[in-house]
A and B are shown apart, each in its own frame.
Chain A
Amino acid sequence: MTQPTYAPDLVEEAVLLAEPTAPAASAQAFRRERDRIYEIVDDDAREASFRSLHLRWFARLGLHRVIDQVAHQRVDVADRVNVSRVVRALTRQDEGADLVDEATLDAASPTPTLVLRLCPSTLLRPDALCTLLHNELTHVADMLDPAFGYERRLPASEDGPSADNILRDRYRVLWDTTIDGRLTRVGLAGPTERTARWREFASAFAMLGEGCESAFEEWFNRTDPTHAGLVAFALTPPQLANAGKPGRCPLCRFPVASLDARDGGVSPATEAVIRAAHPAWRIELGLCSQCLDLYEARQPSCA
């Protein structure tokens, strides 16, 4: 990997944020030089001078140091990408890494371009930046690893965009869980990563019930995850596959992980209310928990 290139707006904002922490004499020197640039009349020349000044101070303040260190450590990524660009992220949620498609299609440059999106303020927090970079670069390493078998598109669901969102969210949480596990074992994860990831996992896989924690442990400790394995679990967690019949509720037609299986089933009175609305429905077809709640609630008012 060649030396990363930095977006000018990221560089400028990081330098401006770092300036108050610089020694007073340095900060004054920076400001004197910067103030003078405002006097340049030609727009292009002024812009070039600003960029040059900020880039020099970016280096002088050592704001590139953590990225250089991590890039040096991550030979698994560095050997497989040609160029890396660091651009400005507007929010913390936007921070991350991507491989750009266009570069992979360029015959003259067959290795892809790595793009890192970072908030300027993150460059001023070395520990947080280091943790973030290792996390993101492990994603990139997986994407570049043939054994992982990464594919850009997840299988489309017949149940519409909400099911696609659920699958994508589960896939993300699973992948992040394996990455946190791998980074924790080599001492590169932050102190709170495991707890935060468990909270996300428990939310995304709440349907696993008591088996949720053991599933989390299993994925956290996994050393060789594959894209296909992550997709398979995200689509149909094994515990869920044994729990009931996934499909659609015959009444509301919404996709459900399992039809209602509560003890006692459907009372005759409720069945009558359902049959009044859905004459073709039979009790063997089942129904989802939401529909059962709905028709049980309707029953007293009908009586």
Chain B
Amino acid sequence: MPTVKNWQLGRDMAYPYDARYPERQFAFVFNINRCIACQSCTMACKSTWTFSKGQEHMWWANVETKPYGGYPRWWDVKILEQLETANPGAQVWGGTPGDGRLAPYGTFEGQTIFEAAARALSPDSARVLGYLPTDEEWNSPNIYEDNPVGKRGVRNALDDTGVQLPVHKTWFFYLARICNHCSYPACLAACPRKAIYKRPEDGIVLLDQSECRGYRKCVEACPYKKTMYRGNTRTSEKCIACYPRVEGTDPESNGEPMETRCMEACIGQIRMQGLVTIAEDGTWAEDRYNPLYFLVHVAKVALPLYPQFGTQPNGYYIPPRWVPRPYLRQMFGPGVDLAIENSISPSRELLAVLQLFRRSNRIIFRYEIEEGPKIYEGSLHGRKVELYNDTVIAFGKDGRELFRTTVEEPVHVRSNAHANSI
């Protein structure tokens, strides 16, 4: 099997195809400290792409409660269990998170889903380690997520050891998910028909319906379970990253790249999506003032979801601060501690960049900051804090200014022009 460079793992890894990289890559950052699971993103996607017969169970965008829930149910628990079975006790990270772009989270010493499959005995799993979720797992997204329940498979009984925890600290958070448009897609690797491809211009992973013959290998292989089988057409379908919007060919876009429907609909303002420039070796080319580059590689507050799977996902998450670190390290890798430290005490620049979230539905390619006056001085988490009312300016693909906003939320006073004016 060929080897490719996976910068999220800090090493080369086996992958069924030789490396080929797009010019730009569709990527996004979700600040899940802010997500309230309103499901606006979910419904925006559903009402745009998956409202037809045969798509009833499909939610290309979904929000699930962690650690209890998942869509399909237990998707991450199941693939983590499979990896642990394949490589018991050795799914660990080595080294330390560093400053470099090539191994920012250290080095993953365990096996990816591609490597574990190559070592497995069964020829059917020769390409990717995975499983096919059942109807039951697909059918009821979010079921029981807000209910206390007992152990899996035990009816009419609550878990009788839960209350014996030494300290009963409860916690949960909402995890918003779409297809990660991975750099090394497992769905693409598994397809026996080569019906799945990655677009060279923006790295969006698409599934050619005319080539698909419903083998469902992609559904089995995608560790994030974001390819789905449609029974009435007997083909698989997946998130298309609203590519007409990203291309700027959507009628609403006027030729300017727009963010996807799920991003645009986010009322919690947790989402930012963009296009990052990819270097020849597949890493992110340095683009200091692209907001996604800044959040991932400079501020290091946004981390990939389950990087250990090995697909090099292009969805990044600012991890929730209140969640126990071991859980977060398993989910987002060893960069969690630094990410939380940096997001709890944001730098002056980070605070400005965070204001860019959801001020526009246009894709931001570059930002600039105009320094403003100091508006607050105090301490937070034992550190000195200074707030500046900087202005952050967003620019689009053609360099035109999209908008500008300030760190301090502006107050708008409506004129007394109407009877209902406040």
Using a CB–CB cutoff of 8 Å, the interface residues on chain A facing chain B are 9, 12-13, 16-17, 20, 31, 34-35, 38, 50, 90-92, 119-121, 199-200, 203
Interchain CA distance A203-B154 in the complex, whole Å: 13
Residues in chain A near residue B411, CB distance under 8 A: none
Interchain CA distance A121-B132 in the complex, whole Å: 11
26 A-B pairs with CB atoms under 8 Å apart are: A12-B231, A13-B135, A16-B216, A17-B132, A20-B124, A31-B215, A34-B213, A35-B213, A38-B213, A38-B214, A38-B234, A50-B234, A90-B135, A90-B136, A90-B139, A91-B135, A91-B136, A91-B139, A92-B136, A119-B134, A119-B136, A120-B135, A199-B157, A200-B155, A200-B156, A203-B157
Residues in chain A near residue B216, CB distance under 8 A: 16
Q: Is the CB of B124 within 8 A of A203?
A: no
Residues in chain A near residue B136, CB distance under 8 A: 90-92, 119
Residues in chain A near residue B135, CB distance under 8 A: 13, 90-91, 119-120
Interchain CA distance A90-B134 in the complex, whole Å: 9
Residues in chain B near residue A12, CB distance under 8 A: 231
Which residues of chain B from 122 to 154 have any CB-CB distance to chain A below 8 Å in the complex?
124, 132, 134-136, 139-140
Q: Top 8 nearest A-B pairs by Cβ distance?
A: A91-B136, A203-B156, A35-B213, A90-B135, A90-B139, A38-B213, A20-B124, A200-B156
A-B contact count (CB 8 A): 35
Size of interface on B: residues with Cβ below 8 Å to A? 16
Residues in chain B near residue A17, CB distance under 8 A: 132
Shortest beta-carbon distance from A23 to chain B in Å:
12
Residues in chain A near residue B231, CB distance under 8 A: 9, 12-13
Shortest beta-carbon distance from A217 to chain B in Å:
20
CB < 8 Å: which of B140, B156, B234 contacts A199? Answer: B156
Interchain CA distance A45-B366 in the complex, whole Å: 54
Residues in chain B near residue A91, CB distance under 8 A: 135-136, 139-140
Task: Beyond the given A34-B214, A91-B140, A119-B135, please list 20 additional residue pairs across the A-B interface where CB-CB is below 8 A.
Answer: A9-B231, A13-B135, A13-B231, A16-B216, A17-B132, A31-B213, A35-B213, A38-B213, A50-B234, A90-B135, A90-B136, A91-B135, A91-B136, A119-B134, A119-B136, A120-B135, A121-B134, A199-B157, A200-B156, A203-B156
Shortest beta-carbon distance from A78 to chain B in Å:
29
Residues in chain B near residue A38, CB distance under 8 A: 213-214, 234
Nearest residue in A to B155 (C-beta to C-beta)? A200
Interchain CA distance A34-B213 in the complex, whole Å: 8
Interchain CA distance A91-B134 in the complex, whole Å: 9
